Amino acid sequence: MDNKNKKIGFIGMGVMGKPMAKNLVKNGYSLVVFDVKPEPVAELVALGQESAASPAEVAKRSDIIITMLPNTPHVISVISGPNGVLEGVTPGKIIIDMSSVSPVASKDMAALAAEKGCEFLDAPVSGGEPKAIDGTMSIMIGGKKEVYESVLDIFKAMGDSAVLIGEEVGAGNICKLANQIMVAMHLAAVSEAMVFAEKAGVDPEKVYQAIRGGLAGSTVLDAKMDRILDRNFKPGGPIWMHTKDLINVRDAALQIDAPIPMTTQILEAMKACKCDGKSFDDHCGIVQYWEKLANVTIKRRS
């Protein structure tokens, strides 16, 4: 289905949301936007889009409403709080929450949307700021197949991959949390392995070049090793955000009795980095936790 004749509401234009909204504009969609900060709203208005004074107003003036917010409490407030999305919707509208939040909260918001006669999808993303900017994110969706298919063109305007994980709302965020477990494991493994090499007096860059094409190679290794060697911890996905995701993993795992011993250890490493003033470092900056334990620093030797 082509939704370019419909108005798309977009709420939350932070590190990820703003480039996502800009990609929708680039692909010919018309937006009504809202954010608590005026600067990103002004950028979208300068591109010919409309602004609104509240999430409720966005919902009133839109056919499809997208939210892209930092965490579960923000989503609950924006969707079901005072002047929230649910105060502005009418039956038949679609709400798409693309935030990375608790799957339980996604189900709760979907139930409230259903009471208003609206459809709901949870559709968290992976890829960080670079892929949000170039429109190549991976999008993981939970909800009714027919609703997913009706907005697939919108997803494709923001990402290379848009997979329906399951027809129950919350499935998208379960997938995102599984993704975040695996990314965290990769980052921890890279950190521990390269600190081991450095401590032994072997050049980590040469270790990386030797193993990247073998079984130990990974997308995470290729995406992050140069940044570690260059000490470039400018965030694509900051430590505070990945910590938030692992806390959501912990909470969800408690509800279903899923064992997560390694995830719990990495969560503690990320929390230690936050305590050390590194909340806004890229998540590959957790290498500094292992470096501190070993009293070494990984960097290029030439």
Catalytic residues: 176
Question: What is the rounded distance in angstroms from the CA atom of residue 73 to the CA atom of residue 105?
Answer: 9
Looking up tokens 């480039």 gives 19
**Secondary structure of the chain: what % helix, strand, coil (to 5)?**
55, 15, 35
The answer to whether residues 175 and 165 touch, using CB atoms and an 8 Å cutoff, is yes
Question: What is the rounded distance in angstroms from the CA atom of residue 213 to the CA atom of residue 210?
Answer: 7
Looking up tokens 């305007």 gives 157
Angle at which helix 204-211 crosses helix 219-229, to 10 degrees, equals 160
Q: What are phi and psi of 147, to 5 degrees?
A: -70, -45
